[in-house]
Amino acid sequence: MRRIATALACFAAALIAAASAHAQGTVKIGVVMSYSGQFADPGAQIDNGIKLYMKQNGDTVAGKKLEIIRKDSGGIAPDVAKRLSQEVIVRDGATIIAGYDLTPNALAAADVSAQAKTFMVNMNAATSVITTKSPYMARTSFTVWAVNEALGAWAYKNGVRKVYTLVSDFGPGHDGEAAFTRGFKEAGGEIIGSARYPVANIDFTAFVQRAKDSNPDGIYIWVPGGPQPAAIGKAIAERGIDKSKVKIMGQGELTYEDALKSMGDAGLGLITAFHYDFNHQSAKNKAFVAAYNADFKRNPDMFSVGGYDGMHLIYEALKKTNGNTDGEALIAAAKGMKWESPRGPMMIDPETRDVVETVYIRRVEKVGGQLLNVEFDKIEDVKDPWKARQPK
């Protein structure tokens, strides 16, 4: 009898809580990502992007007040991310979920989004297949396939003929390898060797030496953010690889800000392809970087802009639906939305709900005594090629 009474009491409490959530005209957004652990820094940057957008645009959209509920998934933990996404929707009354810095977490949460028919904004996780797992999800970051296949094609166009690939041995690394290889080979290039280094690898000397010994005219590297890019940059310099003869190319993380600071001059001449760098020369980006520095005392990076543009998408979608938080309405509003981001022009593809943006080719140069990624070429309106090739 007592059990039934307790259950009824809980049920009543839950109803009241849910009712009150709607009654106040608040839109709750559950942000699930890593605020602690190995990936805490990207999480912090995405969060800063969210905070900055809300500060600049106020926290009221279409007459509703926005409330961010933060949940820490602590790193690669798909079961935790799924549970937190569920909890934030069911218990806290969130009608939009966002964040998702890591692929396994994003994939697990996609199930929740599909089942609960909740609008989901993937602000970072870059594996192509993610957006196909829920019809209510849009992405505002990039995909590994888009950036790296563009780089592969660009490499051939710019005189590289024989490439050795070196990637991290997990999902995004394999994607990078496959994408670059495809883009490069389709243009006519030859992959003369490849290796995959363990995800937690500390010392890259052996791998870099092996790459050098195969005598390529280009080395393609895929590495995630963290301590590894600096280690690779230093290993390349220490092993005496001449960057004027061998083009070292990779995805943006190879030369992200902290890595360049650690690498020092060893990083000069590294070529990377990416969708965002704080050094991007546009008025909007300059303003963004200045505001970001004022609030957070550091430069924004790809994570920050993913969070910033994710919030922009949420705001604009809510304005279009007039505050209606129904998943169907929001995703319909998001499809085809185009805007000028600090990174440049971007659009949410109406078919795949994925991001369509410009891929910049940059080289590390010393500008005013500082090492920066200087853009010298670009490929516009890049769509995710992996999804484009899937049978419809």
Partner 1 sequence: MMTSVLGVLFDGFAYGMLLFLLSVGLSVTLGMMNFVNLAHCTFGMIGGYVTVTLMNAAGWPFLATLPVAFVAAAVISVVFERTMFRRLYRSSDLDQCLLTIGLVFVSVAVAAYVYGTIQQPVSLPNYLRGSVHVGGLTLGVYRIFLIVFALVVTGALVAALEFTRFGAQVRAAVDNQRMARGLGINVDSAFAVTFALGSGLAGLGGALAIDIVGLDPSFALAYLVYVLIVVAVGGLGSIGGTFAAAMLLGISDMAGKYYFPAIGSFLIYLVMLSLLMWRPAGIFGRRT
Which residues of the chain form contacts with partner 1 (CB under 8 A)?
A: 36-38, 40-41, 44, 195-198, 200-203, 205-207, 209-210, 212-213, 226-227, 230-231, 234, 237-240, 258-259, 261-262, 264, 298
Rounded to a whole number of angstroms, the minimum distance from the CB of residue 279 to partner 1 is: 18
Rounded to a whole number of angstroms, the minimum distance from the CB of residue 203 to partner 1 is: 5
Q: How many CA atoms lie within 13 A of 260 on its CB side?
A: 22
Closer CB to partner 1, residue 277 or residue 384? 277
CA-nearest of 112, 113, 147, 98 to 127 is 147
Rounded to a whole number of angstroms, the minimum distance from the CB of residue 71 to partner 1 is: 18
Q: Which two tokens stand for residue 216?
A: 């390529």
Question: CA-CA distance, 359 to 317, in Å (whole number)?
Answer: 25
Rounded to a whole number of angstroms, the minimum distance from the CB of residue 2 to partner 1 is: 37
Rounded to a whole number of angstroms, the minimum distance from the CB of residue 164 to partner 1 is: 11
Question: CA-CA distance, 154 to 298, in Å (whole number)?
Answer: 32
Rounded to a whole number of angstroms, the minimum distance from the CB of residue 306 to partner 1 is: 17
Rounded to a whole number of angstroms, the minimum distance from the CB of residue 163 to partner 1 is: 16
Instruction: Count the helix, strand and coil residues of the chain and give each as a percent rounded to the nearest 5.
Output: 45, 25, 30
Chain centroid to Cα 109, Å, comes to 16
CA-nearest of 373, 344, 347 to 361 is 373
**Residue burial 117-139, b: 16+ Cβ < 10 Å; e: rest:** ebbbbbbbbbbbbbbebbebbbb
Closer CB to partner 1, residue 83 or residue 210? 210
Closer CB to partner 1, residue 237 or residue 317? 237
One-letter identity of residue 238: E
CA-nearest of 98, 141, 135, 50 to 327 is 135
In angstroms, the Cα distances linking 168 to 177, 195, 317, 345 are 9, 9, 36, 30
